[in-house]
Amino acid sequence: MQSRVATCFLLTSLLASGAIIDRIAIVVGATQGSRRSIIKDSDIDRDIRFTSFLNGQALVINDDARKKAASRLIDQIFIRREIESGDYPVASLQQTDQQLDRLEKQKFKTHAAFLDALRRYGLTELDLRLYFQWQLTILRFIDVRFKPAVMVTNEEIEKYYRDHAEALRRQNPGKSSLDDLRAQIQEILAGEKVNQTFFAWLDEQRKNSKIRFHEESLS
C-alpha cells in the first residue's frame, strides 16, 4: 500500500509540474534475435506535423492521421535496421541543406515566412533538417538496395510508348519518336519496378516481425 501511495504521489507531482509522460505506442520485434524497437506517441505526433507541413495541409491530429503515421514509422524501423546492418551511406548535411534551400525558395517568399510556417506546425528548422537528412538517406538506400536488381526489357519500353505516346509527346515537345523517349521511359519503368520490389520487401518484413500495438486505434 505504501508503494502504491508513493507511485500515485509521483504521478501527481509530474502532472502538476507540467511534465509530459511520453507513452509507448507500438513495439516492433526483430526478424531475427530478440532486438526490439519502440514507437512513442511523440514520434507519431512529430511525423504528422512533418507530413502536414511538407504537403501544405492543415495540421489535423486524429485517429486516421495517427494510424497512417504509425504505419510509416513501422516501415522506417525496418529500413533503419537494414541501413545499419548493411552499412548503407547516410545523406550528408550539405545535400540536406541543398534540399531545404530548394524547398524554402519554392514554397516561401522569405526566410521569415518559412520560419513562421514551421512554428505554426510546432517544428523547428533543426527538426526539419534532421527529417530531410533521414528522408534523403531512405531514398539513397532504396536506390542502392533495389535498383541494381531491376531490369527493363525493350518489349516493356515499346509497350509503354504505345500506351502513353500522346501524353509523352505533350510532356516532351519536339520529341515524339521512341528513340527520343527511350531513356525517359526506361527510367519511369525502372522506378515503378524499384517501388514494387521495395514495397514487397517491406511487406515481407512485416510478416516476419511481431508488431504489438499498445493503442488499438493504431492497428
Residues 140 and 160 in one domain: no
| CATH number of residue 84's parent domain | 1.10.4030
Q: How do residues 123-143 score in pLDDT, each as one tens digit? A: 999 999 999 999 999 999 999
Q: Which residues contact 210 (CB under 8 A, 6 or more apart)?
A: 28, 29
Domain presence at residue 11: no
Residues 65 and 101 in one domain: yes
CB count within 10 Å of CB 198 equals 19
Q: How do residues 89-109 score in pLDDT, each as one tens digit? A: 999 999 999 999 999 999 999
> What is the per-residue pLDDT for 48?
97
Domain presence at residue 10: no
Residues 181 and 131 in one domain: no
Residues 137 and 31 in one domain: yes
Residues 82 and 158 in one domain: no
Provide the whole-model pTM: 0.83
Q: Which domain holds residue 192?
A: 150-209
Among 97, 123, 146, the domain-final residue is: 146
Residues 165 and 138 in one domain: no
> What is the per-residue pLDDT for 35?
75
Residues 125 and 158 in one domain: no
Among 105, 122, 146, the domain-final residue is: 146
As a whole number of angstroms, the distance between CA 160 and CA 154 comes to 10
Give how many domains the chain has, as a whole number. Answer: 2
> What is the per-residue pLDDT for 32?
57
pLDDT at 72 over 90: yes
As a whole number of angstroms, the distance between CA 187 and CA 152 comes to 9
pLDDT at 21 over 80: no
> What is the per-residue pLDDT for 2?
43
- DSSP track, 12-40: HHHHHTT-----EEEEEE-SSTT-EEEEE
Domain presence at residue 13: no
Residues 109 and 196 in one domain: no
> What is the per-residue pLDDT for 191?
96
Among 129, 146, 163, the domain-final residue is: 146
Domain presence at residue 3: no
pLDDT at 174 over 50: yes
Domain presence at residue 198: yes
As a whole number of angstroms, the distance between CA 76 and CA 44 comes to 12
Q: Which residues contact 80 (CB under 8 A, 6 or more apart)?
A: 37
Domain presence at residue 59: yes
Decide if 49 contacts 121 (C-beta within 8 A). Answer: yes
The Cα-based distances of 87 to 2, 35, 141, 153 in angstroms read: 50, 18, 10, 31
Decide if 47 contacts 123 (C-beta within 8 A). Answer: no
Domain presence at residue 28: yes
Looking up cell 538506400, which residue turns up? Answer: 141
Domain presence at residue 1: no
pLDDT at 31 over 70: no
DSSP H helices in 108-212? 111-120, 125-146, 154-171, 178-207
- DSSP track, 38-75: EEEHHHHHHHHHHHHHHHT-----SHHHHHHHHHHHHH
